[in-house]
Structure 1
């Protein structure tokens, strides 16, 4: 009995000494878990599972959303082929497909919840929406763990850095910062007149070569119906998620086209009477009617005759801003028609 008691005391002493020796380790582990939070919990589980993890094959295929233009990522047999704990960058809407050898039960941790894999198929497809962890377990053992870095698709960034400047009578250069994390879908130049809230024109601009960022935009506005007028410009950028950003308005004088054909030059001069802060409606209407009475100047073109008469009458009878803008546009179309010949007749007839 005494011998048994001494043996028991010896064992207890050894366990006590072992416990004392492990106290610093346990304390360090507790501090590590406390300092690193939830991720430390996963890592500890992963370390314990490495000792007992059963044999098994699995692959986890991640397909990012189309708008990201990112390649498919395959995580094959994470216990052998990939370093444990490697960070995975995921965007909301990514498709996760897991396939195993069927010797489960397997469970997938995604979107902050565990999903059971059907044992009959040993496969599961789901969509990632949120969460900082992605894991696979077989029974009680963790056979794969990846911390997740969420890749949020932010709206485009767009700012105008200078007052747009004319490179030529037709071209305007705009210095801007335009960028998007996953690529731009469309870049527009919005043109506003006076204090109107809605844009009167939207010009689609060429996207940057890399699809993601631009610093210099050159566009041809010389043939624009608002040529020669003071307008406000805004840049509008859209991404593939439908998110948009719009700059503050920048005031600019649109470049005015130089006409070489005599009739086109005359019509352009009449149009200039309607531009600026004090438009001269009466003089413009009178010159339009006088021009209409000289068919030899426009080759007897009936469309030109009708446009001159109707425009003059509208200026006289409707002294509102909308009529002023409409007749200004009509005169622009007439000048372009005269400059370019009969090719534009169908266009400004609306055919």
Structure 2
């Protein structure tokens, strides 16, 4: 169809476009195998498959590839259904509403002479003509997935694209040479040629070089780069001359050669179109590592050693070596025996999981508290390695291996017994004798029946092992573990049992959540965990300040309140009741991680004003540590007296040690003998020095009692003052005993002073916690409203102070959704830093509370 002036109409253009689409569709369906084979064959030639195949196989590949392409082309031409204009009209008609082309060919069957029928038919044809005027070309269907189910066309297209980008497409022209018959191929002389590549080591990150395209006479290559050279043509015409590698027996004229760049030198390709390069080998320096200061003891006895490591490219590994520094060990008491041989510790150095490793500033953290060398002199050395296998060592550091410290006197004595057994099995008899001396008066030595029972069982096991012919290594290790657990019990008291119950409850509840236990069982386990949590947090809150290790950056630690932990447990139970076990398991894992490094604060956390008497409590803690050190020195003086055959004044045998952090507290045993001479003369200036130090500590404690202390006017504060007064009197009595040369009596008074100070600190902690709770309640009361009958969000309250009525309350599900929406809105607004500071502060307080 065309207009009266011969111009093509929209329908004609649509019909021609549809016909073109039909040609594309049928050509693609007929010839896609031919195109796929052609692309694959061309990609194989571009990548040089013919170079790695024998001549006969190369010829067969060429002939076979051409034959396959020709056959697929003939098969496609035979399958091609040539489209005609009628096919295009039929497809176009099927896509238009009402099939207008078919309607144009119809005839009026009834009422041909009826004017009304003719008018209706004319209107119908006019509507059909308007539809035809709006016709658009129908594109061809080029989807071939039902014909090429394995996607071979995509593989071929990808191979061809890679060949164009990275191979040599011009090599496709070698097809004529490949197609020669084997008998005639030998008669055709190919000109000699060569190719050379350089592949630097992967860790350098440098790209590969194709030497045929490098026209510079000088090159810089990393040491260890792999050079690959290939010759083509008649053998013997071309050769390689190089002074880069260490090879000595290689054939310079070999058709395939590979060698590694080890040093600077010259590389020459001799023969037609040969080339020369002066190569400079970039030496890979060995890595370097430096220890940054001495190791630091962190909370719980963990050792932290900062270090810096550097390399040209990357540090790939390392280890830290710990060896006993036997010459620096104070060889007294249990350490006087020659130690059992132990190999130095070799510990893999953890490296950063991400980021560059050419320069590392990190810290090595490990717990050596249970190792026999804990708190003893050692030689520390760190080594690192790079990808080339080169190593670097740090300078030897002569340090004391950090480990957990025990402040309870009996716990320190038990740890020293354990150390002696691990130091040498020959100390078994001596340790048994000391344990008998300690258990001579068990009621005064142990505060709990459980600790006393464990100590007796350990003593009996050691005695039985020695009676059976000696202490073997396995029994020694079992005894060491038992003594360690006993020391933890003595140091932490009920806190250790509370923590063990909490860990068991956590494990059982976590297992029940993951295994889909019955709701009644989960409820029972949740109640058990709540009870264990309450006991643990109560014991943790009562733990004296001096029991923990000194903290760095204490003001930055995160405080967790009991209310927050309770809310987290309520949320876990709520998720389990709703059947959302995966989310409950995730929250349970977060709770476990939180409890591993728990700092408890009763009431609301946050940064508040300094608590009254906080500086005084810090000073009391320092005084207590000074008293502990003085008790150590007093006990050492007492040991020296017994070693010389004397004892302190009085005829009673020395009791169990009261302090022993690093000293052999069990050396005093059995009945002491009356020494000769005056103890004052034996003690000399040492006793006077100890007495003077004791007087200074007593005076410092008296001055601290005059400062503002937590809980003044409260029962807890009065109890703390009474305890500190008892401690001061005990210190003064210890000073008098030291002046008289009675070290045993002084040691007893010092133990009484330390126990009284601990009681005072516990009472002040309770008073301080009470102050914090009252302050938190006051802050919460002041934040509930603005005094005008409206809540913080500006809503009107009723007379009872409540917001809204029962009719206004949402359903349970709507309440949860509304709460989540409000929480998300609060988080979004708090992240907008352009808001006023007062508003941001209010939003943060809302998030902290909810």
TM-score (ref. length: structure 2): 0.26
Q: 1:111 and 1:212, CA in 2 relative to 1: closer, same or farther beyond 3 A? A: same
**Aligned pair 1:309/2:444, yes or no?**
no
Distance 1:307 1:211 in 2: 51
Distance 2:361 2:291 in 1: 9
User: Residue 274 of structure 1 contacts residue 281 of structure 1 at CA under 8 Å; is this kept in 2?
Assistant: yes
User: Residue 162 of structure 1 contacts residue 175 of structure 1 at CA under 8 Å; is this kept in 2?
Assistant: yes
Tell me which residue corresponds to 1:91: 223
Question: Quick one: which of 258, 261, 264 aligns to 1:128?
Answer: 261
- What CA deviation, in whole Å up to 9, does each residue of 1:18-75 have, x standing for no partner? xxxxxxxxxxxxxxxxxxxxxxxxxxxxxxxxxxxxx986432223457x56556231
SS in 1 for 2:299: coil
Tell me which residue corresponds to 2:298: 167
Distance 1:303 1:211 in 2: 52
SS in 1 for 2:374: coil
Tell me which residue corresponds to 1:189: 320
Q: 1:101 and 1:272, CA in 2 relative to 1: closer, same or farther beyond 3 A? A: closer
RMSD: 5.0
Q: 1:184 and 1:298, CA in 2 relative to 1: closer, same or farther beyond 3 A? A: farther
Distance 1:245 1:290 in 2: 51
Aligned counterparts, 1:173-322, within 5 A: 173-195=304-326, 200-209=344-353, 210-225=356-371, 226-257=373-404, 267-268=414-415, 270-271=417-418, 284-289=431-436, 297=451, 304=458, 308-309=462-463
- What CA deviation, in whole Å up to 9, does each residue of 1:139-175 have, x standing for no partner? 3x543x3332213343332222312222333333323
**Aligned pair 1:77/2:212, yes or no?**
yes
Aligned counterparts, 1:98-109, within 5 A: 98-102=229-233, 105-109=237-241
Q: 1:311 and 1:162, CA in 2 relative to 1: closer, same or farther beyond 3 A? A: farther
Q: 1:245 and 1:169, CA in 2 relative to 1: closer, same or farther beyond 3 A? A: same
Distance 1:184 1:60 in 2: 31
Aligned-pair distance for 1:181? 3.2
Distance 1:243 1:146 in 2: 28
Distance 2:452 2:324 in 1: 31
- What CA deviation, in whole Å up to 9, does each residue of 1:304-343 have, x standing for no partner? 5676337889xxx99xxxx9xx9997765334455698xx
Q: 1:271 and 1:64, CA in 2 relative to 1: closer, same or farther beyond 3 A? A: same
Question: Quick one: which of 267, 289, 302 aligns to 1:158?
Answer: 289
SS in 2 for 1:162: coil
SS in 2 for 1:270: helix
Larger fraction in strand: 1
Distance 1:292 1:70 in 2: 68
SS in 2 for 1:169: helix
Q: 1:199 and 1:275, CA in 2 relative to 1: closer, same or farther beyond 3 A? A: closer
User: Residue 109 of structure 1 contacts residue 134 of structure 1 at CA under 8 Å; is this kept in 2?
Assistant: yes
Distance 1:176 1:247 in 2: 10
User: Residue 288 of structure 2 contacts residue 394 of structure 2 at CA under 8 Å; is this kept in 1?
Assistant: no
Distance 1:303 1:95 in 2: 68
User: Residue 110 of structure 1 contacts residue 131 of structure 1 at CA under 8 Å; is this kept in 2?
Assistant: no
Q: 1:235 and 1:252, CA in 2 relative to 1: closer, same or farther beyond 3 A? A: same
Aligned-pair distance for 1:208? 4.1
Tell me which residue corresponds to 1:23: none
Aligned-pair distance for 1:89? 0.8
Aligned counterparts, 1:4-15, within 5 A: none
Distance 1:132 1:307 in 2: 73
Tell me which residue corresponds to 1:333: 481
User: Residue 187 of structure 1 contacts residue 237 of structure 1 at CA under 8 Å; is this kept in 2?
Assistant: yes
User: Residue 267 of structure 1 contacts residue 334 of structure 1 at CA under 8 Å; is this kept in 2?
Assistant: no
**Aligned pair 1:62/2:193, yes or no?**
no
Aligned-pair distance for 1:219? 1.1
Distance 1:83 1:252 in 2: 58
Q: 1:115 and 1:108, CA in 2 relative to 1: closer, same or farther beyond 3 A? A: farther
Distance 1:128 1:292 in 2: 73
- What CA deviation, in whole Å up to 9, does each residue of 1:277-328 have, x standing for no partner? xxx9987443435689999758789995676337889xxx99xxxx9xx999
Distance 2:311 2:242 in 1: 27
- What CA deviation, in whole Å up to 9, does each residue of 1:210-232 have, x standing for no partner? 44432232312244402222322
Distance 1:166 1:146 in 2: 57
Tell me, which stretches of 5 or more residues in structure 1 are unaligned?
A: 1-54, 342-351
Aligned-pair distance for 1:206? 0.5
SS in 2 for 1:268: helix
TM-score (ref. length: structure 1): 0.56
Distance 1:310 1:184 in 2: 52
Aligned-pair distance for 1:192? 2.1
User: Residue 292 of structure 1 contacts residue 305 of structure 1 at CA under 8 Å; is this kept in 2?
Assistant: no
Tell me which residue corresponds to 2:674: none
SS in 1 for 2:216: coil
SS in 2 for 1:288: helix
Instruction: Give the total of aligned pairs.
Output: 268
SS in 1 for 2:294: coil
- What CA deviation, in whole Å up to 9, does each residue of 1:239-273 have, x standing for no partner? 45554333222232333325799997763253478
Higher radius of gyration, 1 or 2: 2
User: Residue 428 of structure 2 contacts residue 462 of structure 2 at CA under 8 Å; is this kept in 1?
Assistant: no
